Each structure stands twice: as C-alpha cells, then as structure tokens.
Structure 1
Amino acid sequence: MEEPIRILYVINALEVGGTEGQLAELISGIEKERFSPYVCCLRTIKDKSSYSLDCPIIALGVSRLMSLQTLIGMLSLVRYLNHNRIAIVQTFFIEGTILGVVAAKLAKSVSAIVVSKRDLGFMLTKRVIWQLKLIYHFADRFLANSKNVKDYLIKKEGVNRGRIDVIYNGIDIEALEKKMQEVSGADIRSREGIPEHVSIVGICANLNRKVKRVDLFLMAAAIVCKYLKDVFFVIIGEGCLKKSLLDLSEHLKIDLKTRFVGSQVNPIPFIRMFSVGVISSDSEGFSNSIMEYMGCGVPVVATDVGGNRELVEDGVTGLLVPCGDAEKMAEAIQVFLDQPAFRKKAGEEGKKVLLERFAKNKMIRDHEFYYASLTKEKRMAFKKKRGKFSA
C-alpha cells in the first residue's frame, strides 16, 4: 500500500470565514488513507475552538511579512516541510502565498506548489500585484473557486490559462439541515421583535468590508418599504461598519424594520426564515452565503458580479441585478415578495442545483482527484527527465 500523499495548507489564521470554513470541510472529509493533511498558520493560534481539525497544526507567529520573525518563520517552515516529507503545499491569501510559496520552493521534499485564489483582488494594490507576479513564477498550479476568478487571474495577475484549474466550493447539506433545527423560527422572531405574519428579507455579510455594500441593501430596503408594509430586514454579520450602517438605517427611516443580529455561530436558523436572501457586493469570488441561502431553499437576489452568475441562474434560482443599483435590487426583492409561487419554485430549484453541483462530497472528491493527478504528473515528469539524463 502506498504512503498517503502529504499536503500542507498555508493560511494566515484559522479565523471564522468562508475560506477557512471550506478548508476545514476539506480536511474533515478527505480520505485519510490516501491523503495526510497538515496546516500551517502564519499568526499565533488564539482560538483553537473555531475549527476542530483532525490534523497536525503549526503556528509561525508571523504578524507582518517585512520582519525578522518572517525570515525565522520561513526557515522553520522549510525544516518542517522536509522533516514531515510534505509533497504538496497549497497556499491561501496574500501573506500565506508569499511566505508559503518561497518556503515550499526551498524545501527538497515538496514536489508541487498550488496557489489558491478565491476572490477578485478587490484589496490588491499595484505593488502587491507586482509582488505576487514575482512569487507566481515559483508556483506550479493555481486553483480558483470559480470560472470568474480564473478569468481574473489571467487578465489581472498575468497567470497562464493552462496553469489554472477550477474547483467550486461545497456545502454539507445534511449538516445544514441539522443546523436548521437548533433554534426555532418562532423563538428568533420573539427575541428580535419580528411579528409572525411579516416576510423577512435578509443578508449575511462581513461588516468589516465596504465591498459587501450592505449600505446598498439598506437603500433597496428603504425603497421596498415605500410599497410594502409587512416586511422586515435582517442583517447577519459584525464589523467596524455596523455603526455607520445603523445610522444609515435611521436616516432612511427604516430602523424600526431592520434588525442587526450580529455574527452568528450558526446563522442557518435565521436564513431559513428569509423569504429572500440578498447579496449586494461589488465584488465576489464565489459566495458561501448564496450557497447557504440555496441550501435553505431561499431564493436569491444578487448583484451580477464575480462568480454569482455561476451559482444563480437568473430567473430560475434567483434574480441577478446590476452592481450598485438599489432600484433594481428593490424591484427584484418585490418580485419575490409579490409572487409566492415563483418564490417557492426558485427556492426549490436552488436547493436542487446545490445538491447536484455544489455538494461538499463533490468538492472533496474533486480535490482528491486533483492532488492525485498533481503527484502523478510530477512522477511522470521526473521519470522523463531522468531518462534524458541517463541517455
């Protein structure tokens, strides 16, 4: 029996987030007889309870790249890679990619370096893109989580099309359905002061990022409120923008109909109450929130950006609206609120699509095939190269 392929994932930190959650799902489900996962966090692990990972985890204690600690951490990582005979290194985020790719290139044991890209570079400056382009020369492959992200890598970061593969995010439907039952809708409505008879339109977003455009969601909500009385708006998420968004809801005179419920360890009981789930972002790689909406049978209204079109079939599982257009977003929300039959049908179709194309098990099997093919390619290339030298 062959030894399992050893894979090290390099990530900034194991904080609660979309990328971190997908990585945790992958590690929990990957076939351990064939693959042996390891995790390297750049920063110190403060909260080990965020994700329960069944694999070795190391922390380098690196807080910023331009520091002596980074050099020490990189050399420590090189030794760790060689000592544990790591074959594949996969990196996430800017810092994880810069440090992880260089360390992997210096390690003798590593046969394949994979850079993960999961957004459209909305935070990247020209200087950072230039730095990444230098680092990318040392990577073997790139793994995007949507075709749109792949196109971005080609056009904006100069990666050759032939070096990029796409594996979509996945969601655990069975686990999601169990989470639905943890808190009743009646309890949530009672706690948040939302009457039983009203519809709920909701959004799940990171309130630290302006790119999520929760302000646009509130502006659309204000328009909807002009025409419909029995509707409330729920915002799931926490962050530094919360105060300004609360002020905006008051300015728009919809504060009595909006509920900021904060970050939720389990947002699913809230989402299942939504009549409509909204994504208002100016930029999206591949939205985990949309997958959660669809998994709960909730129709989606989303801005037509990034990978949203790959998830939402316009007019079938949801409605796509132009980026930054509060009027169009409000119209789409009203369509679903005014047409219960269409709303129900779109929710059902969304759940069906999710099961067929974006299930957790499919995501895991796709990664397993990908890793196996990487090591096979490297073995074949090595044999071919050795044959040339022996000749």
Structure 2
Amino acid sequence: MKILMLTCQYMPDVFGGAEKQCGRVSKGIQAQNLDVQILTSRQKIAGKAKEVMNDVPVTRLYSPVGPDLLGRWLPFSIYWLLRVLIWAAFNKNSFDIIHCHQGKFGAFVGCCIARLFNKPILIKVGNSNQFMDFNALKAKKVVGPLMAKFVLNTNPTVVAISDVIAKNCKAFGFKHIVNIPNSIDKSLLSSDYTEIKSVDSSKLNLFYHGRLEQIKKVDVLMESFALLACKNEQVHFHLIGSGSCLEPAKKYITANNLQNRVTFYGEVQDPVNFIRQFDIFVNASEAEGFSNSLLEALLAGKVLVSTPVSGASDAIFTEKNGYIAPGFSAQDITKATELGIKLHNQNKGEVAAFSEQLINANFTVDVIAKEYVKLYKKLYGAS
C-alpha cells in the first residue's frame, strides 16, 4: 500500500502538534514497510519543492500564504487546491490511501482528491469541542459550511485522538470513527543529556512548554502560579516557548513582583530533554486534541497537572502520575498543582515507572503505526 499524507503546512515552516505527529507517524508507518509520502505547501517560491525529511519524501506545492487560512486569503486556498488536484492527476498511481492531518481545509482538499480519483480517505482530527476541526471549518464565512458539508457527505473515516473528539465527531454527523491517540517517540530521550546548572534542584520546579497562544491560557497559568507562590516559598516556574502571550506573561509577573520566581526561556531546540530537569508539568489550556506537550512531559516521567481538556484523562491517572483540575480557573489549577506537589514529594519514582509503562502500552510510535496499518488494510480491502 502507498499512503499519501496530506497536510496544509509542514515542518520547518510550521512546527505545531499536527506537524510533529505527521512526521512521527509517517516515519513509523514507513518502518512497517509501507510506502509513505507527504504532500504539503511552501510559502517561499524559491524553497525546496521536493526533499526527504526523516527518511520520508516530502513534496511542497507553492502557495504565497498558508492555504488553510481561508477568509480574505481564500484565493490562495483555491490556488493551492488546484495545484494539489493537478499534482494528484499526474501522480494518482503513487498513492492508494489519503491520510489527512487535521479536519480543516486540508480535509476538504483531501475529499476532493478522494472523490475525483476514487481513493479511500481518513481524516485525523486535532482539536475538540467548540474548537474541533470541523466546527472550525464550518465557522469560516460563506465557504466554510459548504466545505464542511462536502466533507461530511464524502463519508470519510475519521480518526479521533481522544474519546472527547470521538463524541464531537459523532455529534457532527460522521459515521465511521476510529480512536487512535497521538504518539511519542521514545528515542527523543537522550542517554547523555546534561542538566542546566542554573536550575535550583532544591526548589519545586514547575513548568509548561509549548506554543504560548491565547488558547493555551498562559494568563490563567501565570495567575495560578501567583496564587501558589503566595502559599509556597519553594516553588519556581519555568515557561518554555514563544508566541503572542509571552510578553503579557512577562508583564504580569513583573507587576506581581515575581521576577525572581519565574524563568522565561523562549523556544528551545530539544524540549523533551530540556524539561527533564524540572518536576511538575502544569497545563492551563482551554482546548486540546491530545497535547504533544503533555505527551512529552509524560515521556520525561514528570508529575502531570492539566485542565480537563481532551486527551488529559488518557495520560493522567489520579494519584498515579498526576491530577486533572476540576475546572479551568486559576483556583482549580492551583488546587490540582498542590496535589501534584504532594505526589512528587512522596512518589516521584513510582510516577516515572507508571508513566513509562503507560507509554509502552499505548503511545509509542511503533504501537500507533501498527494501529494505522490495520486501519489502512481495512480501508484498502473495502475500496
């Protein structure tokens, strides 16, 4: 079987969770002796049209802006759609199954290919509830509802990365839903990493790493830490990443005179090994699909604290490796973090061992790749 991975944008142009998962799963599926290629866009006309990344061939079709933006950029989206359809016409024998990463505009493009060339298609959904991919697509003015209806009528197989997303997709009207979670690559853990000397190991080092955007509720995260800092002199917070919420977070910390108790790092090259020196992962996000940051903290064996977002209950088990806050407020997160601190102080060794077993059973690239291969075989046999 030959698999076409379709994603509107890809690394290194965009380095988000969907792009990371596309790369990991593509390499993992190729290791299962399937032929895999990635089709995406590029925004630089002089950029590479073809290359190999992590042993997987990548084809990039030029689009002046990201093709999934729609709105006032709709002409560019249509332009990329036409380029993809022309590419598919000339290369229809190079793929048997279409695998779309995210159920937004890329899913509409994938369904156009599937209908034109009679190919089976699966769409992996990357977010939940009001932010669920198909809800986001439908919310786009004028064309969004039409595109969402087209995708639904194509009757694709939808891959839900959590139970919450599976329920969202069923409510939207999809009939063929399969649960396959996100993966994590255990080789990301280096055997010779060195800790940063500036981190005070006598402190309780809380951290968050990832995109610092509004949906991640960095403001609530900082408010929660401020509440915790008033109660516990031992805590220090480490914020790793960049985005539009970084500067407001810095201003909030300065205004509350907590400059000596929060460290801002910006983006780091090797986040998985970087976070190994800290103690407790804290996530205040209001919506997720299945957080890559959460999976990376799970891999690092850290105590986990999160709001009750999609994917949290799949990775966090109360009193085993962390706590899920009862709600999304700073007070809720603070209470859950206090429980996480107790767990870290009492059982951090057992936490790491439990999380390792959980990853080995459910989330390794090899485990997830095999689940996708089973699904591909089912779709290919039915086509």
Classify the TM-score, shorter chain.
Answer: 0.7 to 0.9
1:319 counterpart = 2:323? yes
> 1-side partners of 2:342 and 2:26: how far apart?
43
Counterpart selection for 1:117 from 95, 116, 125? 125
5+ residue gaps, structure 1: 379-391
Which of the numbers 131, 137, 142 marks the counterpart of 2:158?
142
Q: 2:98 aligns with which of 83, 86, 89?
A: 89
Q: For residues 87-111 of structure 1, give each alpha carbon's deviation from its aligned partner in whole angstroms, at most 9, with x where no partner exists.
A: 101112312112222123212xx43
TM-score by length of 1: 0.84
Quote the sequence identity (%). 21
Instruction: Name the residue aligned to 2:192.
Output: 181
Distance 1:33 1:298, change over 3 A: closer
CA distance in 1, matches of 2:182, 2:59: 25
Q: How far apart in 1 are the matches of 2:247 and 2:51? A: 26
Q: What RMSD, in angstroms, separates the aligned Cα atoms of the two structures?
A: 2.4
Specify whether residues 50 and 303 from structure 1 end up closer, same or farther in structure 2 by C-alpha distance, changes over 3 A only: farther
Partner residue in 2 for 1:382 = none
Matches within 5 A, 1:247-258: 247-258=251-262
Q: 2:89 matched to which residue of 1?
A: 79
Amino acid at match of 1:210: Q
With over 3 angstroms needed to count, the CA separation of the structure-2 counterparts of 1:51 and 1:75, relative to structure 1, is closer
- 1:102 matched to 2:112: yes
Conserved 8 A contact 1:221-1:233? yes
The residue number in structure 1 matching 2:208 is 203
Contact residue 32 and residue 370 of structure 2 kept, 8 A: no
Q: Contact 2:22–2:101 (CA<8 Å) still a contact in 1?
A: no
Report whether the alignment pairs 1:168 with 2:164: no
Where does residue 10 of structure 1 map in the other structure? 6
In 2, distance between residues paired with 1:243 and 1:31? 41
The C-alpha deviation readout for 1:326-366, integer Å capped at 9, x for no partner, is 12322222233345113443333222212222122101111
C-alpha distance in 2, partners of 1:244/1:113? 42
Q: Which amino acid aligns with 1:36?
A: D
C-alpha separation in 2, matches of 1:337 and 1:55: 42
**1:27–1:54 contact (8 Å) kept in structure 2:** no
Aligned CA distance change for structure 1 residues 331 and 51 (closer, same or farther; 3 Å): farther
Aligned to 1:351: 356
Q: Report the AA paired with residue 377 of structure 2.
A: A
Question: What number of residue pairs does the alignment pair up?
Answer: 359
Contact 1:6 1:87 in 2 (8 A): yes
Which deviations, in whole Å up to 9, do the C-alpha atoms of 1:286-329 show, x marking residues without a partner?
11211111211101011112121122112222101033221232
The Cα shift of 1:285 comes to 1.2
Quick one: which amino acid aligns to residue 171 of structure 1?
Answer: I
Instruction: Provide closer, same or farther for how the CA distance between residues 33 and 168 of structure 1 changes in structure 2, counting only shifts above 3 A.
Output: closer
Which has the higher Rg, Structure 1 or Structure 2? 1
1:262-277 superposed matches below 5 A? 262-277=266-281
TM-score normalized by structure 2? 0.86
Instruction: Mark the CA change 1:265 to 1:80 in structure 2 (over 3 Å): closer, same or farther.
Output: farther
Q: CA deviation at 1:235?
A: 0.9
Partners of 2:31 and 2:329 in 1: how far apart? Answer: 47
Query: Is 2:174 the counterpart of 1:159?
Result: yes
**Residues 222 and 253 of structure 1 are in contact (CA less than 8 Å); yes or no, is this contact kept in structure 2?**
no
Q: Which runs of 5 or more residues in structure 2 are unaligned? A: none
Deviation larger for 235-244 or 349-358: 349-358
